[in-house]
Structure 1
Amino acid sequence: MEVLSRDQWEARAASHRARLAPYVDPHLARREAGMKHPVHDFLFGYYSQRPAQLMRWHPGAGVGLSDAPSYSSLKGYAGSPASVTADHVASQRVLVETLLRLLRATAARPAHLGCFGMHEWAMVYRAGSVGGTRHPQPLRLGAAATDTVVESHRIACSHFDAFRFFTPDAVPLNALSPAADDRPEFEQPGCLHGGMDLYKHAFRLTPMICSDLVADAFELAWDIRVLDMRAAPYDMTGVRLDPTGEEWTPVRVETPEGKRVYADLQRGFAERGQVIRHRLIAECDRLLTYRGTPKSASPADATLG
């Protein structure tokens, strides 16, 4: 087992916090002030990982931390040096196997890049008849023109957690019928929501994997969410984006040029996502054969299977 000195792991933990602070700190400041952001709050509200959990660095199973009492008390850790135990990894086997099936199935499919973000439009299709839209911002084209855009496109959303927010009138327009229990049959690497969910898959494996991978997945999810809302039907004029401060501009997917922009960005995210997806697959494979330090064993006995 690799063992990091206190100076080593504290430096890596500080680097992790510094990397994520430009994303997390503005969110915490807005939350303290009772303000909401129509783009950036999503990752902190929709997903269950709290900001403090995201900011805490973990080395992953197989790495020990010297002089780290603050880690010894955390779930999954034990011993001196503090490390994730084999008992904890074994207790997460069902989760690891489930994620591995989904990740492998998704990675094996080609990326489909022709959705043009219509899932967000389907969420507001004829929304006036079902109590209004999910966001307070007005529709960029107005209700009638937005409905026309939906009706003029083929809707083929493969991601259940997007599809489940379709309005009742939009549900039968979808060419696919994904459900909560059949994700491995539908997920594909071009899906923006599937790319964002890599962050969820990564943090669910905490503390068994290194937080550097979680941070990579978070940054990908952040960038994807920006495109997701730029291509959405909402008018967010005046909204500024963290951490750059640039003003939001729409990707007008109802136009040929907007479609080209969207598909190019989507392709780049799919490629970034596949790299992270394969890293998560490798970590899942490693965890399923992990024979690290049981709670009752000496750190000197630790091995990786």
Structure 2
Amino acid sequence: MRVLSESEWRERSAAHTARVDAWVGPHLARRRAGVRHPVEDFLFTYYSYRPAQLRRWHPGAGVVLAGATDLGPEYRAVDLGPGYRDVADGLTVDVEAFLARRGESVRWIGDLLAATLTRPAHFGCFGVHEWAMVYRQTQAEVRHNAWPLRLPPEGVARVVEERGIRCSHFDAYRFFTAPARPLNLLRPTRETQAENEQPGCLHANMDLYKWAYKLQPLTSAELIADCFALARDIRTLDMRASPYDLTDLGYPPVEIETAEGRAEYVAAQRSFAERAAPLRAALVDVAARAGDRAARAGNRDDVSAGC
């Protein structure tokens, strides 16, 4: 157990809140104003972690917060969240109680991330998955129909059909239009997720944010925020390389329908894979440290990876 003095953990808590508020504040302001942003709001609407949860600082497993036992039950419930127990020096994550409820999920997530970590990265999809989500739809039918497409529907269809679709990520594939699904090289399912995910995939790397918060309170708030920051940058590339025209929002397109655009996309994709690798390894380590006790807990829960 690492013991943090009260001054240390309060400083970390304040730094985390300030960092996260730069993301959360504009989102909440837009929500109050009824304004939608197809890039910046995605992580708050697609994923289930609420802004208040992202703002909340917590140390992760194996850390004792000195002096926190003197702050009363309100601090635990509001500031830290549930899942802590008293020890001689202060408060720490109650790992055993968490594993009794979520042990099988910890093992499932750890196995998925470990399998992904060991695979070679592939960079040949060129972001066509976003095009497959609007394939053979009219402007009125597409998901972000407040924003125009860069190409007419016939042009979008031509790109999909000429480039082909090589998507290994189930949670992207399930949003494909019905005519696009048969064009995909793979047929990913929830059951084959651990067999298909690979570290070059934008969506698999974006999902590190999901796995980080699903392992909370074993994970630290800082690790979750690091995964959020990566996912936010990935979402920007994802939408810049999509068929949507978001130039009015300040996002110049990555034109994957051209050789230059595909080269730009792959370079960014490789950079994100490099950034994702240590975060994925850190999450594997979090799950592995709890693994033996998770196996002993023996309580199965819902491990479906719904977002």
Task: Give the structure 2 partner of residue 152 of structure 1.
Answer: 162
Task: Give the structure 1 partner of residue 86 of structure 2.
Answer: 79
8 A Cα contact 1:116 1:259, kept in partner: yes
2:234 corresponds to 1:227: no
2:67 corresponds to 1:67: yes
The whole-number CA distance in structure 2 between the counterparts of 1:93 and 1:152 is 45
Question: Deviations for 1:256-287, whole angstroms, at most 9, x for unmatched residues?
Answer: 00000000000000111111111111111112
The whole-number CA distance in structure 2 between the counterparts of 1:219 and 1:151 is 33
Task: Give the structure 1 partner of residue 52 of structure 2.
Answer: 52
2:195 corresponds to 1:191: no
Deviation at 1:155, TM superposition (A): 0.7
SS in 1 for 2:247: coil
Deviation at 1:289, TM superposition (A): 4.4
2:138 to 124, 128, 132: 128
Structure number with higher helix proportion: 2
**TM-score, with length taken from structure 2:** 0.89
Give % identity: 51
Task: Give the structure 2 partner of residue 176 of structure 1.
Answer: 186
The whole-number CA distance in structure 1 between the counterparts of 2:290 and 2:4 is 20
The whole-number CA distance in structure 1 between the counterparts of 2:26 and 2:76 is 30
8 A Cα contact 2:27 2:40, kept in partner: yes
SS in 2 for 1:127: coil
Where do 1:1-305 residues align within 5 Å? 1-68=1-68, 69=72, 70-73=74-77, 74-79=81-86, 81-91=90-100, 92-128=102-138, 132-136=141-145, 137-239=147-249, 247-289=250-292
1:213 aligned partner, one-letter code: L
1:166 aligned partner, one-letter code: F
SS in 1 for 2:64: strand
RMSD (Å), alpha carbons: 1.6
Question: Deviations for 1:132-187, whole angstroms, at most 9, x for unmatched residues?
Answer: 11112111011111111111012110000100011111011001000112100110
8 A Cα contact 2:95 2:218, kept in partner: no
The whole-number CA distance in structure 2 between the counterparts of 1:140 and 1:283 is 43
The whole-number CA distance in structure 2 between the counterparts of 1:110 and 1:264 is 16
8 A Cα contact 2:96 2:293, kept in partner: no
Q: Which runs of 4+ in 1 moved over 4 A?
A: none
**TM-score, with length taken from structure 1:** 0.89
1:269 aligned partner, one-letter code: F
Question: Deviations for 1:13-39, whole angstroms, at most 9, x for unmatched residues?
Answer: 001111122111111111111111011
8 A Cα contact 2:135 2:156, kept in partner: yes
- Of 69-78 and 45-54, more deviation after overlay is shown by 69-78
8 A Cα contact 1:155 1:175, kept in partner: yes
1:76 aligned partner, one-letter code: G
8 A Cα contact 1:72 1:82, kept in partner: no
List runs of 5+ in structure 2 lacking aligned partners: 295-307
1:36 aligned partner, one-letter code: R
Deviation at 1:89, TM superposition (A): 3.5
8 A Cα contact 1:89 1:290, kept in partner: no
Deviation at 1:87, TM superposition (A): 2.4
The whole-number CA distance in structure 1 between the counterparts of 2:125 and 2:94 is 43
The whole-number CA distance in structure 1 between the counterparts of 2:263 and 2:197 is 23
SS in 2 for 1:181: coil
